[in-house]
Structure 1
Amino acid sequence: MKHRYKAFIAALSLLTASFLLGPARAAPVSVTDDLGRTQQWNDTPRRIVSLLPSLTELVCALDACERLVGVDRYANFPASIAKLPKLGALDDASVEAIVALRPDMVLLSPSSRLHDRLAALGVKAVVLDTLSLADVRRHMDTLGKLLGSDAAPRLKERMERELAAAAAEVPDAMKGLRVYYEVDSAPYAAGEISFSGEILARLTLRNIVPATLGPFPKLNPEFVVRADPQLILVSQRNAQKLVDRPGWQNIAALRDQRVCSFTPAEGDLMARPGPRIGEGAQAVLRCLKELATRKG
């Protein structure tokens, strides 16, 4: 009886303390984005608009997909976001539609011109610039902290493991080839200091686009002819038209039929600096193996 009385008094003390102190409050969270702006929330953001597919994928990979209330028109992964409102893209996203969703955080690229307009309307916008693999890792940590997720270390470890596994399987015949990765038919290319360029380097390929030209430069087509890549990575849509470009029929990659043409889904894996980068490396590896087998 005495022990039960003590237990009753202890429980009553806890209830009294809870009543006096009130409900526990979540700790405020803050983030400094890539424009150098620091913003704070009283709790982890619960209504998120993401206007970049890679950041949308990252939010979902951090176990916060259910917090998304709107995405850009190009977001297509994971499948669960298909039902969300599509709000446009970098240059034509609708501010009115965004505000109507009452977000407490909007994720943007520096290329977007919306951050000042949203700030003027009292909407917190976080601008994240992702050019390198280091940026990808950094944003995993930043959003993990902001969303209250402990998944970031696991995502970083998985990405590194997948990149290392792909690098270990590159056929000897493909190692060291001069590579040109066309991200757009303008043509824009992935330079060696871009996240895509870093993936190619991990696969022991030599990028024809030097660091001095930036991460994703627009090239003069003659530059590619002079560089004479031995391997070309390009979308399926543009692959068949490469030989029609002046002088390109003499490029070693086309002459030797070393072209990796990616489906839209495969192109997304290589072009989006998000949690599926390791899968992008695997997509390139599959093509390298096919080419090595054909030549063998």
Structure 2
Amino acid sequence: MQKPDVKVFFDEASNTFSYVVWDPSTLMAAVIDSVLDYDAAAGRIHHASADAMVDFVRANAFTVQWVIDTHVHADHLSAAAYVQSVLGGRVAIGEHIVTVQESFGRLLNTGEDFRRDGSQFDHLFTDGERYRLGSIEAIALHTPGHTPACMTHVIGDAAFVGDTLFMPDYGTARCDFPGGDARTLYRSIRKLFALPDETRLFLCHDYKAPGRDRFVHETTIVAERRENIHLHDGIDEEAFVAMRTARDATLPVPKLLLPAVQVNMRAGALPPPESNGVSYLKIPLNSV
């Protein structure tokens, strides 16, 4: 199986892993799940996290082919638009972005000017769509449950799973966001478990499970199947749904959910400036 090279970047403020993945034979690269730094108290955006990735790409003379978000993140703002502006590449997400745009477009009262057809992105991946990163074969898999638009990107022997799975000692993603569903997540994970055992899994988050003192970003299919505390082999669908539903009922709303979605459903772009030239993020009251 073809093996891409992977460089991880960690944003501790949001516990997010971002990746540059590349074909060593062609130096074609993808930037996956980039982070736009956001100071909520000051209302300021900056690019330190994204610039670390940009500097790495430039230092290695990579050509960026893809700028991918695995889903519409609820815990950080995407830097996809910024990365594309300085490195090029096609900004892409799964085709079910339109479902997220519709539900949050209503919640945020974005009006008729906000397009809900995914056209803010250069490419919308479909389930099972095959593509290439340089000479390396890749496939996009629709793995909903955490959100309706979640995609896993399998690039050679490496799978970038977004929030669908965490480290085996931490478990699985929450399913209580609009369009999320625990039963759907179970089936998505079982779909991933059909990948070869040795497939490397690159995660979007880690929160250091009890007893572990370091953040970890990589595991394997076989480790997840054997050891995932929420969904190892032998746990049936009903047991998982009951566990996940009860657990989700105890979780707070992510602090950056509303700011993040407003940017991320626009492919990492800020809302259009108003008449004074300033972009604003809306916070609906008593609605979430």
TM norm. shorter chain > 0.5:
no
Structure with the bigger percentage of strand: 2
Which structure ranks higher in relative contact order (CA pairs < 8 Å, sequence separation ≥ 6)? 2
TM-score by length of 1: 0.28
Structure with the bigger percentage of helix: 1
TM-score by length of 2: 0.29
Greater gyration radius: 1
